[in-house]
Amino acid sequence: MKPTRRLFALAAAAFLTPIVIGWIALAYLIANREKPVRWELPSRHPVGPQERNLAKRLEAKPAPDFSLQGTDGRTHTLRSLKQPVLLYFINKDCPCSIEAEPMFGRIDLAYRGKASVVGVLHGTLQDAKDWANANDTEHLILADPSGETVRAYGVPRSVYTAVLMDGKILKMYPGYSGDMLLEVTRLLAELAQTPWKRVDPDYAPKRMTSGCEFDFAPAKGEDKAPKRPSAQ
């Protein structure tokens, strides 16, 4: 081999060798990298056929009106809220309500000014304010001390979620999940006649999960808590 060719070959080898080694190292790192962990909430109270049937029977029925005090210091009725309304129910002692709250906050941020996202908490106004502060909730929480509104809507557990429009229950979800989050945001966008905004569902459980049962204390003079209204 002539000296010129030999020098050219050595120069090419010196140039290409680090590149080849780099590509081999990169391929090794990619092949052996740790897969990212997808953090997902547990399905504490998996929703079964009975809960789904109950929620289905509540749909297309008139939405019970209410007059409840809110964390904004005002009294609200169903008619006073901007339509459509996403109404969800909170048990202040239920970890499921706490876990689901960030998702309702994201929906509120996505559709603020176009729809109302409102929580109904079974407890006093101070309970509602304390709960909202503890969970960094910016949207409206209504206090339902007697549980009358919770019972009127026929929901047995927290995290039940209703989409309301023009005084009707258009959709009732017996819990929440990633698929439900996508569906409810599309429905709100359609009803509000506004472009759909995707709310990241990765945080939600894959399987629909409900919350804890509401515990209605007996009213004065009663031996037991009032029965919930029939969904028939």
Residue 205, φ and ψ in degrees, nearest 5: -65, 150
Query: What pLDDT does residue 223 have?
Result: 41
CB of 104 closer than 8 Å to CB of 185: no
Residues with Cβ within 8 Å of 56's Cβ and at least 6 positions away in sequence, in order, are 172
Query: What pLDDT does residue 205 have?
Result: 85
Residue 30, φ and ψ in degrees, nearest 5: -65, -40
Query: What pLDDT does residue 228 have?
Result: 43
Instruction: Give the 3-state secondary structure of residue 196.
Output: coil
Residues with Cβ within 8 Å of 117's Cβ and at least 6 positions away in sequence, in order, are 86, 88, 104, 107, 108, 111, 139, 140
Q: From 170, 176, 168, select the one nearest 208 (Cα to Cα).
A: 176
Query: What pLDDT does residue 9 have?
Result: 57
Q: How confident is the model at residue 224 (pLDDT cuts 50, 70, 90)?
A: very low
Query: What pLDDT does residue 195 have?
Result: 96
Query: What pLDDT does residue 49 have?
Result: 87
Please tell me the pTM assigned to this model.
0.75
**pLDDT single digits (tens) 34-44:** 433 343 455 56
**pLDDT single digits (tens) 121-178:** 999 999 999 999 999 999 999 999 999 999 999 999 999 999 999 999 999 999 999 8
CB of 87 closer than 8 Å to CB of 118: yes
Q: Reply yes or no on whether the pLDDT at 99 is more than 70.
A: yes
Q: Reply yes or no on whether the pLDDT at 220 is more than 90.
A: no
Query: What pLDDT does residue 1 have?
Result: 52
**pLDDT single digits (tens) 6-59:** 655 555 555 556 555 655 655 554 454 443 334 345 556 788 888 899 899 989
Residue 126, φ and ψ in degrees, nearest 5: -65, -40
What domains are there in the chain, each with its CATH number? Answer: 47-210 (3.40.30.10)
**3-state SS string over 81-106?**
CCCCEEEEEECCCCHHHHHHHHHHHH
**3-state SS string over 165-187?**
ECCEEEEEECCECHHHHHHHHHH
Query: What pLDDT does residue 46 have?
Result: 83
Query: What pLDDT does residue 229 have?
Result: 42
Query: What pLDDT does residue 139 have?
Result: 97
